[in-house]
Amino acid sequence: MAAANPWDPATALNAAGLLLGHFITSELVTQEMLNISKKSTSCFVNFSRLQQITDIQAEIYQKNLEIELLSLEKDAADVVHPSFLAQKCHSLQSMNNHLEAVLKEKRSLRQRLLKPICQGNLPIEAVYHRYIVHLLELAVTFIERLEDHLETIRNIPYLDADLKKMSTALAKMDILVTETEELAENILKWREQQKEVSSHIPKILAEKNSLHKHGVIVPPLPLTSNVQSINANVHSSLYSAHS
């Protein structure tokens, strides 16, 4: 039998009950305070909740184990299971139908295989003609660029020799430019001297004719010798430039 609560004034008239009754009558302690002290503490409630959580976790773990066992059983099922047999039967039937169709068209397939694929016209629907034209343009452009790249790759071993030849050609070009400038200067000088000589020729001829009339022999003019030397220099410069 459970023992009586010594703090409950209604159970028995012991010293504690009398004391509590005296406190209640003197309003030092209220009945609500006594009722609160009689309630169970919250720690026992937390213990019960923890026990429930533990039970739920154990149940979840058990269910996970059952799921894993079922998945293993599914993966390692016997091949004679009806579902697997139905899948295999369907695959065999589809393969058999395909082989029957191939055997029916054996003659046409043999002719198609013996016929060369190259130089043949493939039937293309009219809807795709514009795309085929664009595709052919792209293919031609790709082939041209590919040929250029291949030619560049083939010429890579000869780049050093080509660079040396280019340097030599540039040096020769510089020499030719210098010689051409000198030749242009000589030509300009020759033109000026020709203008000067042509301006003096009428006067010299008039004087020479007058001297011939009087029977005087005139030596060759120095201007003609200078002109001949200039002409010789110009011709030599032109010959060296062409060579």
Distances (CA, A) of 168 to 92, 109, 162, 241: 78, 66, 10, 17
At residue 23's C-alpha, the angle toward residues 19 and 29, to 5°, is 130
Residue 156 pLDDT = 87
pLDDT surpasses 80 at 62: yes
pLDDT surpasses 70 at 148: yes
Share of the chain above pLDDT 70, in %: 67
Query: Burial, 223: exposed, middle or buried (Cβ in 10 Å; 0-12, 13-18, 19+)?
Result: middle
Contact (CB, 8 A) for 234 and 188? no
pLDDT digits (tens, 9 = 90+) for 27-49: 776 777 766 665 555 556 677 78
Q: How many CB atoms lie within 10 A of CB 20?
A: 20
Interval 54-70 mean pLDDT: 91
pLDDT surpasses 90 at 178: yes
H-state helical runs in the chain:
15-25, 31-38, 42-75, 82-104, 106-114, 129-154, 159-213, 222-242
Contact (CB, 8 A) for 4 and 38? no
Specify the range with the lowest mean pLDDT, choosing from 105-109, 158-162, 207-211: 207-211
pLDDT digits (tens, 9 = 90+) for 109-119: 777 777 766 65
Share of the chain above pLDDT 90, in %: 23
Which of residues 132 and 32 earns the better pLDDT score? 132
